[in-house]
Amino acid sequence: MSTLSVEEPEQAESRVHYLNVHYGVKSWLLTTDHKRIALLYLASITLFFLVGGSAAVLIRMNLLTPTGLLVEPATYNKLFSIHGIVMVFFFLIPSIPAVLGNFLVPLMIGARDLAFPKLNLLSWYVYIVGGLFTLYAVIAGGVDTGWTFYAPYSSTYSNTHVMAAALGVFITGFSSILTGLNFIVTIHKMRAPGMTWFRLPLFIWAMYATSVIFILGTPVIGITILLIALERAAHLGIFNPALGGDPLLFQHLFWFYSHPAVYIMILPAMGVESELITCFSKKRIFGYSFVAMSSLAIALLGFLVWAHHMFVAGVSMYAGMVFSILSYLVAVPSSVKVFNWTATLYKGSISYEAPMLYGMGFIGLFSMGGVTGMFLASLGMDVHVHDTYFVIAHFHYIMVGGAVMAYLGGIHFWWPKISGRMYPEGWARFSALIIFLGFNLTFFPQYILGYLGMPRRYPVYPPEFQVLNVMSTAGASILGVGYLIPLIYLIWSMRYGPVASSNPWGAKGLEWQAPSPPPTDNFEETPVVTAQAYDYPSREVEVA
């Protein structure tokens, strides 16, 4: 069953919209249109995804044999470092906020653009400059500190291009801060008449919560990286005990940002999920206020759990206990969301276009990542599996199984709005399926590897771990193909896909009232909101 619609074909061809209003490179590089900037981000993060993904392919290939199939340990260390740095800072963190958020925040609240359009363009340029520094570090010979930059290894011992890579992360942080600032001001000040806080789509609540983390957390990673640079260049004793510093201080500062950064990746994904589940089951979300408030709760509690990355690092027993229980607290709002999504399906009218398949895959994989987080928050358990493949599997289930599934679901869902074209449904469903299967085959064996005791960041490993590693690599090759298929057909569809109507899914939400693709100013006249979010028609039934 499909609600794909090929009506109004004359509309998109003859009408002036944000894509055909100007032509030429300059019109893109100097644009202040939030929708065009979203596409600039889409292109750039896709390139970074390919860089990070290629590193992942080489990592998995190398792990096919216990002695390392392809490369020397020094090269392997650079591969996982660049994989982590690129995927975390240049793909996952900007993914949903900078692409879908940029495109959708003004459209969803009935505004013409973000509050500061030029600042928005600046964010992209800052991101690109940061990215160039990091790419320079890769081309110049690589960096081998891991994405975590632990001191004193990064500040004193590593003789790779730490400064360039760290500077890239430092610079790109300003891009996050500016985007967060822009979103917060926009959501506060530019909502259409009648768009009260509790009528906002849940995606907007998620963007709001994410922006809070951007603004509060990102400066801390900036400061931390500056301190690393100071110690590396000027030998100021901050983290290296040989100079009078404290290496645990680095970990506290690093995780104070980098744990909330995980929520920067997953909160937007949860926002997308709420949009997908409601649209494809034609239902108002179950427990709107609980889902909305849980986003804020996650954003705030997320700042209080950083030391669960340090249970075996040398913190005191009591610190361990406090951070363990706080970590369980932050798990509550996440599970609330899963239960509410499930309840939303109840008595819905559920259809299975590709975005919904990605959405269902998200619930499954995110839940798997979430429950294994319960293992890691439990102190005695964490001591055994900390820094093993169990942790690798856990956070890939959240960040790839969760965030990337939702990102792809969101890209498919809003593709008609973004491009004015429909993607090929059959291919899209097929790729959703093989991504789901490939993902599980890649990462499920890693839980077992971790419990068996295989440490992370090991190019060489004991032979008894080989079978599980081969399974994981086999899965990764399926997963890799799964990611390439949408890349090909989405590009293809921009030219050859069927022309999309303004609302092919019959979805609620202001963005679907604008034409596909929307004109530069989004709405011909400012919309007035009179109903709550997800106001799908329902029939009153006699309660037995």
| Residues 522-541 interacting with another protein (rule: CB under 8 A) | 536-541
Q: How far is the CB of 532 from another protein (least distance, A)?
A: 13
Please work out the total of residues on this chain that contact another protein, with binding judged by CB under 8 A: 96
Binding to another protein by CB under 8 A, coded x per residue (else -) over 370-389, reads -xx-xx-xxxxxxxx-xxx-
Query: Interface with another protein includes 189 (CB under 8 A)?
Result: no
Rounded to the nearest whole angstrom, what is the least distance from the CB of residue 339 to another protein in the complex? 4
Q: Which is nearer to another protein, 367 or 513 (CB)?
A: 367
Q: Give the nearest distance from C-beta 145 to another protein in angstroms.
A: 8
Residue 61: CB minimum distance to another protein, A: 16
CB nearer another protein, residue 427 or residue 458: 458
Rg of the chain over CA atoms, in angstroms? 23
Q: What residues numbered 106-165 form the site for another protein, per CB under 8 A?
A: 144, 146, 148, 150, 152-153, 156-158
Q: Report the nearest approach of another protein to the CB of residue 327 (Å).
A: 9
Q: Is residue 184 within 8 Å of residue 211, measured between CB atoms? A: yes
Give the residue with the Cβ less far from another protein, 177 or 363: 363
Q: How far is the CB of 190 from another protein (least distance, A)?
A: 30
Choices 38-46, 120-128, 260-268, 454-462 (CB under 8 A): range interacting with another protein? 454-462
Residue linked to tokens 């926002």: 271
Nearer CB in complex with another protein: 368/435: 368
Please report whether residue 444 would count as binding another protein according to CB under 8 A. no
Judged by beta carbon, residue 66 or residue 219, the one nearer another protein is: 66
Q: Name the 3-class secondary structure at 175.
A: helix
According to CB under 8 A, which residues from 233 to 262 bind another protein? 240-242, 244, 246-248
Binder of another protein out of 117, 287, 480, 519 (CB under 8 A): 287
Site for another protein (CB under 8 A): which residue of 77, 218, 274, 503? 77
* Of residues 103 and 286, the one with the C-beta less far from another protein: 286
Q: Report the alpha-carbon distance of residue 500 to residue 19 in Å, rounded.
A: 14
The answer to whether the CB of 33 falls within 8 A of the CB of 124 is no
b/e for 226-247, b at 16 or more Cβ within 10 A? ebbbebbeeebebbbeeeebeb
Cα separation values, 288 from 53, 118, 203, 318, Å: 36, 34, 12, 37
What values do phi and psi take at 21, rounded to 5?
-70, -35
Lookup: tokens for 466: 């080989």
The backbone torsions φ and ψ at residue 421, rounded to the nearest 5 degrees and listed phi first, read -125, 155
Nearest distance from C-beta of residue 300 to another protein, angstroms: 16
In angstroms, give the least distance from the CB of 3 to another protein.
Answer: 6
Find the Cα–Cα–Cα–Cα dihedral 234, 235, 239, 242, rounded to 10°: 180
Q: Which member of 9, 141, 193, 462 binds another protein (CB under 8 A)?
A: 462
Where do runs of H (alpha helix) occur along 34-161? Answer: 34-62, 73-85, 93-94, 102-109, 117-140
Rounded-to-integer distance, Cα 156 and Cα 342, Å: 50
Residues with Cβ within 8 Å of 435's Cβ and at least 6 positions away in sequence, in order, are: 361, 405, 408, 479, 482, 483
The only residue of 166, 264, 360, 514 in contact with another protein, by rule CB under 8 A: 360
The residue from 117, 219, 364, 519 that contacts another protein (CB under 8 A) is 364
Beta carbon of residue 96, minimum distance to another protein (angstroms, whole number): 23
Nearer to another protein, 20 or 342 (CB): 342
Only segment of 113-121, 198-206, 305-313, 495-503 that touches another protein (CB under 8 A): 305-313
- How far from 241 is each of 236, 245, 314, CA to CA, in Å? 11, 4, 14
Q: Which span (98-106, 166-174, 261-269, 330-338) binds another protein, by CB under 8 A?
A: 330-338
Work out the number of other CB atoms within 10 angstroms of the CB of residue 218.
Answer: 25
Q: How far, in Å, CA of 3 to CA of 115, rounded?
A: 35
With respect to another protein, which residue has the nearer C-beta, 158 or 179?
Answer: 158
- Count CB atoms within 10 A of the CB of residue 197: 12
Q: Does 311 bind another protein (CB under 8 A)?
A: yes
Sequence-ordered list of residues with C-beta below 8 angstroms from that of 287, at least 6 positions apart, any chain: 336, 340, 343
Least distance CB 265 / another protein (angstroms): 21
Letters for 1-40 (x = contact with another protein by CB under 8 A, - = none) are x-x-------------------------------------
CB 205 within 8 A of CB 297: no
Contacting residue, 188, 314, 426, 484, with another protein by CB under 8 A: 314
Within positions 209 to 228, which residues make up the interface with another protein, using CB under 8 A?
A: none
One-letter-per-residue 3-state SS of 202-255: HHHHHHHHHHHHHHHHHHHHHHHHHHHHHHHHHCCCCCCHHHCCCHHHHHHHHH
| Least distance to another protein, CB of residue 399, Å | 19
3-class secondary structure, 455: strand
